[in-house]
Amino acid sequence: MTRTRRTASLAELVALLPPSLTHISDPVTYMPNPNDDPIMGELEQMVLCSLVGLRQEACGLDVQMRLGIYAHRELSLGTVCRTLQRLERKRLARSRHSAPQPIPGGRRKRLYGVTQEGLRALARALSALLKLCSGRRGAPAPRPAPRNTILPR
């Protein structure tokens, strides 16, 4: 006798959730970020910084080379292009096709640039990192050393 494994549907899985978490299954009302700020990972931030540093529209290969030189990140071109596409879906970057290269069978390149929303998101992310590093805004005060401890000179 063989057993067949049955997978649960999304509705069945949602029914198992406690009532306080049922809003997660609704893609319209569930917002993971209350400020509507696009959440960026480290790689997305580095790719946006690379685009800003290039100061013009650039293709994925330019971004890949810049990440290798300045960030010492050896990434495949596919990883860089997927990240650029993800940034474009989040409206943090924009793209257009260039004119074909002036050689027989010349291909068009996809050129990427940073949008104003991308610059604002990058500025917010960098500002948050600087605040975290500096310990400002709500950081606990350093504890005083106990009196019976010998401090180094």
Residue 66 falls within a domain, yes or no? yes
| Residue 95: pLDDT over 90 | yes
Q: Which among 26, 30, 42, 44 is positioned nearest to 89, based on CA atoms?
A: 44
Per residue in 6-56, pLDDT (tens digit) is: 555 556 655 665 565 545 444 444 444 555 667 889 999 999 999 999 988
Count of domains observed in the chain: 1
Provide the CATH number for the domain around residue 108.
1.10.10.10
Residue 80 falls within a domain, yes or no? yes
Distance (Å, whole) CA 24 – CA 14: 9
Residue 140 falls within a domain, yes or no? no
